[in-house]
Amino acid sequence: MPQAKGKSRPRGVKKAWAGRFAEQTDRLVEAFTRSIEVDRRLYRYDIDGSIAHCRTLTKARILTGRESAAIIRGLESVRAELERDQFKFLPEDEDIHMAIERRLTELIGPLGGKLHTGRSRNDQVALDARVYVRDRLAVMINRLKALQRVLVRQAQANRDVAMPGYTHLQRAQPVLFAHHLLAYVEMFERDKGRLRDARTRANVMPLGSGALAGSNYPIDRRYTAALLNFPALSQNSLDAVSDRDFMVEAVAAMALLMMHLSRLSEELILWSTQEFHFVDLPDAFCTGSSMMPQKKNPDVPELVRGKTGRVYGHLMGLLTTLKALPLSYNRDLQEDKPALFDAFDQTDRAVEVMTELMRRLAVDREAVTRALSGGGMLATEIADYLVTKGVPFREAHEITGRIVRWALDQGRELSELSVEELRRFSEKFDSSVLQRLTVRGAIDRKAQIGGTASKQVDRRLRDWAKTLS
């Protein structure tokens, strides 16, 4: 049978724009264009913005004091219904903005229709989205600070532990475990900076831009901005209603943050394997296998790694939605919020769960120390020693490579070689080289700013403790 077509049917509630149309909205169109399931989370911001707009209309003498008080009381009643989950959404409610206005009018009568004077859903939704982004970014910055504190505490607790540093996932040079953890603290500090920057550009008030051209009413936009705690006003009404740069910037910052969390997750996954066993993940943050009783799977870092791709997808989705939109508002922009909301939700949860995981992380010091043997990690120390004796670095590099090859063939560690054995390769060696062939010596010679030497790591730990207090 052919599929039934959508039909128009009588409604109990008129659309706000129904006067222009001879037919009511088709059921299929109504379902297709409805966004209430997504944007209902904006209700607090929408009501706050409506109250501020109401007061601005009163200041402009468009509403009387009595009308304003009645509207604000009605809005607070709507807020209470929503917060108590007693608000009844109707099929005719396209979005949260129209649902609130519809319920307000039910509560206070035709006076509710005066609230929309001087504004459009275009500047209304832009306002709600900006306040939402502003608030969520502030929460995320604080969450990142908590994660940094945990990493610093782990670094302090393990500040005397040396570990292999890696390049190409091959053992390279010894570093302090604390130095490794502090690398992520630096990354997250940059993330906080990007989130703050995004928050600054989101924190601009668009209300008063109308549908696209501004308002015919003598509203005081600075007054509205002060009521809503905005430090700046949009300066072009066309841009204000169509701008979603602040969303893209926020999601881009979150994509970078998730990338850093994903890198940390990958290391935790590797370090918790039997092959490494540098760390033991808390049981409460792992799962088992339905088939293999011995398994302890690092599901949390794996999911963080996976959700990183999800946030990347939201960034590309937003950019693609915006890439060819003419000015000013277009309904395509309704598709911005699913990406925005989910990016915030996934990133916020990832930061929160990784903070608690890192708080409970156990470091296997013996396993980390054992990993320092083998692989010739002190080779660079030999090459640099020869340079101090006047040997050009490229020649010192070649000599050291031959020493490493010989030691591997002999099954020997570089630290086990005698001065006499080293002198087979260069007469520049003397007993002073032995001071270099220790893990601690190799670490503490990296004493410039940013190096892994104990004194530099201790200095940075003190800096972070002060910064994050």
The catalytic site residues sit at: 168, 289
**Cα–Cα distance measured from residue 151 to residue 368, given in angstroms and rounded to the nearest whole number:** 18
**Cα–Cα distance measured from residue 27 to residue 117, given in angstroms and rounded to the nearest whole number:** 29
Decide: 468 and 152 in contact? Cβ < 8 Å. Answer: yes
**Cα–Cα distance measured from residue 165 to residue 176, given in angstroms and rounded to the nearest whole number:** 8
What are the CB-based long-range contacts (under 8 Å, 24+) for 67-74? 67/111, 67/114, 70/108, 70/111, 71/104, 71/108, 71/111, 71/112, 71/114, 71/115, 73/108, 74/104, 74/107, 74/108, 74/112
Q: What are phi and psi of 287, to 5 degrees?
A: -130, 170
**Cα–Cα distance measured from residue 94 to residue 152, given in angstroms and rounded to the nearest whole number:** 48
**Cα–Cα distance measured from residue 222 to residue 227, given in angstroms and rounded to the nearest whole number:** 9
With a CB cutoff of 8 Å and minimum separation 6, the contacts of 393 are: 383, 387
What distances in angstroms separate CA 362 from CA 143, 150, 268, one per listed residue? 22, 13, 11
Q: Which residues pair with 307 in a beta bridge?
A: none
> In 94-207, which ranges are continuous DSSP H helix?
96-108, 121-157, 177-202
The owner of tokens 């109308």 is 210
**Cα–Cα distance measured from residue 180 to residue 279, given in angstroms and rounded to the nearest whole number:** 14
The owner of tokens 């910052």 is 253
Per-residue exposure over 312-331, b if at least 16 CB sit within 10 Å of its own CB, e if not: bebbebbeebbeeeeebbee
